[in-house]
């Protein structure tokens, strides 16, 4: 049995909108649990709704222009062989039709972008998690990607600890571990060793064991089962690796 001291690490993600705007709603507070797909915040949609209307009107106008250009081209195509229209007029009508056809493609794309921007005024939770930080408030004007929440992801959760160099050849991936919290009557959590750094480093200042502070150590990561979400970011814990129980 090897006893180590470490801290709980939980993945965090800063959440922001993909477009600029004024924050209109942020219903969640720090500590609130949110499920994947939950609407977390939204911007004032009026500027983006107007852009959609403008793009739709532009698309409709180009479709009308293309229809007229196509009718003119067809009439001149019927007359070109009989000499009822000059080659120049025929070529011009064909060019005009081709230009409006390309403009139509661009207008369709512009409408798609406008609709996407409108949808991006809503911010959804990418996964289950807990609101760690509420960074902005309704009424704030944010730029693209400015964070408005920090989300603490509930899974995976791991413990970051360090082993001395002599144990580098002893511990192995997959070893089972018991994880003890420092709280009174703390619960024991189960885990497995999932990462051993291949690079040695001097002991970080945060390591609490005096005998390791001047030694070369290897960072390890123990992935923990956290069914009750009791393991929190930064929480100090004691880890007991079951070295003797693991086959060599």
Domains of the chain: 2-10+156-241 (2.40.30.170), 12-44+121-150 (2.40.50.100), 46-119 (1.10.287.470)
Of 72-86, 203-217, 225-239, least confident by mean pLDDT is 203-217
Average pLDDT over residues 201-230: 75
Of 5-14, 94-103, 192-201, least confident by mean pLDDT is 192-201
pLDDT of residue 246: 52
pLDDT of residue 85: 87
Cα–Cα distance for residue pair 80/88, rounded to 1 Å: 10
DSSP character at residue 206: T
pLDDT of residue 248: 46
Average pLDDT over residues 149-175: 89
Q: pTM score, two decimals?
A: 0.77
135 φ, ψ (degrees, to nearest 5): -90, -35
CA 15 from centre of chain: 7
pLDDT of residue 205: 60
- Quickly state the pLDDT bin for 81 (edges 50, 70, 90): confident
Cα–Cα distance for residue pair 5/95, rounded to 1 Å: 75
Strands 216-224 and 201-202: antiparallel
Please name which of 113, 101, 50, 246 lies closest in space to residue 167, comparing C-alpha atoms.
246
With a cut of 90, say whether residue 97 has pLDDT above it. Answer: yes
To the nearest whole number, what is the mean pLDDT of the chain? 90
Cα–Cα distance for residue pair 90/5, rounded to 1 Å: 84
Please name which of 166, 51, 67, 171 lies closest in space to residue 115, comparing C-alpha atoms.
51
Which is more confident, 122 or 173?
A: 122
- Between the two ends of the chain, the Cα-to-Cα distance in Å is 14
The b-or-e profile of 78-115 (16+ CB within 10 A means b, else e) is: eebeeeebeeeebeebeebbeebeebeeebeebbeebe
Question: DSSP labels for 111-176?
Answer: HHHHHHHHHTTEEE-SSSEEEEEE---TT-EE-TT-EEEEEEEEEEEEEEEEEEGGGTTT--TT-E
pLDDT of residue 230: 86
- Quickly state the pLDDT bin for 154 (edges 50, 70, 90): confident
């Amino acid at each position: 049995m090897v006893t180590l001291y470490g801290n709980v690490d939980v993945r965090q993600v800063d959440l922001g909108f993909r477009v600029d705007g004024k924050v209109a709603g942020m219903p969640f507070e720090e500590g609130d649990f949110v499920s994947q797909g939950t609407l977390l915040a939204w911007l004032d949609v009026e500027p983006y709704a107007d852009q959609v209307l403008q793009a739709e009107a532009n698309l409709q106008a180009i479709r009308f222009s293309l229809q007229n250009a196509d009718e003119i081209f067809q009439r001149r195509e019927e007359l070109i062989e009989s000499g009822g229209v000059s080659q120049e007029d025929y070529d011009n009508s064909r060019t005009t039709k081709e230009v409006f056809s390309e403009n139509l493609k661009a207008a369709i794309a512009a409408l798609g972008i406008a609709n996407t921007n409108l949808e991006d005024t809503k911010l959804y939770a990418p996964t289950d998690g807990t609101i760690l930080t509420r960074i902005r408030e309704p009424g704030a004007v944010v730029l693209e990607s400015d964070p408005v929440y920090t989300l603490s992801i509930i899974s995976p959760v791991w413990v970051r600890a360090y082993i001395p160099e002599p144990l580098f050849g002893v511990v192995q991936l997959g070893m089972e571990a018991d994880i003890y919290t420092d709280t009174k009557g703390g619960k024991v959590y189960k885990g497995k060793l999932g990462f051993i750094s291949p690079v040695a480093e001097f002991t970080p200042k945060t390591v609490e064991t005096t005998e390791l502070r001047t030694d070369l150590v290897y960072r390890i990561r123990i992935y923990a089962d956290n069914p009750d979400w009791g393991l929190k970011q930064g929480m100090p814990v004691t880890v007991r690796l079951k070295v003797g129980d693991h086959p060599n």
